[in-house]
Every structure is written in C-alpha cells, then in structure tokens.
Amino acid sequence: MSARVYLAGPDVFLRDPMAFAARKKELCARHGLTGVFPLDAEIDLAGADAREAGLRISRANEALIRSCQAVIAHVTPFRGPSADVGTAYEMGFARALGLHVFAYTNVQDDFLTRTVAFVGATSRRPDGEVEDGDRMSIESFGLVDNLMLAGAVLDSGGVLASRNAATGERYTELSGFEECVVAAARALG
C-alpha cells in the first residue's frame, strides 16, 4: 500500500481546487505516493449552519491528517508575510503526531526580508533587533518563516523547497512541490 501524504495549503481557496488537487495527486502517484487533499473528506453538512459547517470541515481535515504518514505543506506567503494559518496549524498537528513534514514556497526571500517589505517602516531597538510599526520585533533567523514552521520541517527529516515564481503563478507553480514529493517518496519508501 502506498504511503499517504496530506496536501496542506491554501490551494483549497483556488477557483477550481479539485482540478489543482488532481495535478498534485498525479505527481504523488508518479512517485508511488497517495496524495490526500483536504477536500477529499465526505462531509455531511445536513442541518449545519455556516459555523457548524466550518467545524465539521476542521474535524474532517484532522482525521485525514491522522490517516497519513507525511504532510507536504504549501507555505507561500498568504495575505501577509507568512504562510496561511490553517496550513501552519496542520503542520503543527502533523508534527506532534510524528509525521514527516515537507514544505515548499514560491517566494524565496527569507522571512525578515519579506516582513520588512510588507510592513514598510521599521525601526531598530537598542539591541539591534528590527521592529515593525506595532513595536513588535521581526524574527531574523534566516529561516523561511516563523521558526516553528521551519523547525517542523527540518527536525522531522523533511525538505524545504523554494522557488521564485511569477506573481500570477505563486499559488499554482508546482516544481517545488514535486521536489517535496521526490523527497517524501525517498523518506517513506
């Protein structure tokens, strides 16, 4: 039975997420893995209002992650300098379960560079730390994003793939994803 890999990311917000999921699953299958997309769960939404529907989807996604051996997380910056928070949540969930965590981003600048560009005006504290307009410091560990996300990938034996995609392809470029699939196939094979 081929290993199951949960495909975390903001891909679910694309216009045709199932067509995109099919492309990811095809790349997984080519390398002997079964890709599991968040929207794969059959969820009974009968009688659910919007809030309850959201909660049922959350439960279904957690169950899907529990059924997998690895996660490949799409961490391209999403509405700000960091990854989508749902994806970050799922990385933490997977890491606590002992899964391998792989990640890819289609923006190569490190976290400090991206965040400074995002917040605009910054200042320096006496100790040299850079802070934003809310006087909150900006991490400068040379990592892809917040250190918890980078730690999950590197400490679980995963791989972080980074590319510089054109703006219009930031959420759909898949070469970094394929690099993760190849690494996951090797780790799980």
- What residues line the site for a second copy (CB under 8 A)? 10, 13-15, 49-51, 53-55, 57-59, 61-62, 78-86, 88-97, 115, 118-119, 125, 131-132, 134-143, 145-152, 154-155, 170-171
Supply the minimum distance, in Å, between the C-beta of residue 138 and a second copy: 8
- Is the CB of 44 or the CB of 79 nearer to a second copy? 79
Cα separation, 132 vs 138, in Å, equals 7
- Is the CB of 30 or the CB of 59 nearer to a second copy? 59
Supply the minimum distance, in Å, between the C-beta of residue 31 and a second copy: 26
Give the three-class secondary structure for 81. Answer: coil
142 Cβ partners below 8 Å, 6+ apart? 110, 112
- Is the CB of 23 or the CB of 170 nearer to a second copy? 170
Q: Which amino acid is at 40?
A: D
Supply the minimum distance, in Å, between the C-beta of residue 24 and a second copy: 16
Supply the minimum distance, in Å, between the C-beta of residue 7 and a second copy: 15
Give the burial class of 15: count Cβ atoms within 10 A of its Cβ; 0-12 exposed, 13-18 middle, 19 or more buried.
Answer: exposed
Alpha helices in the chain (DSSP H): 17-30, 50-66, 85-96, 111-119, 147-155, 175-188
- Is the CB of 31 or the CB of 111 nearer to a second copy? 111
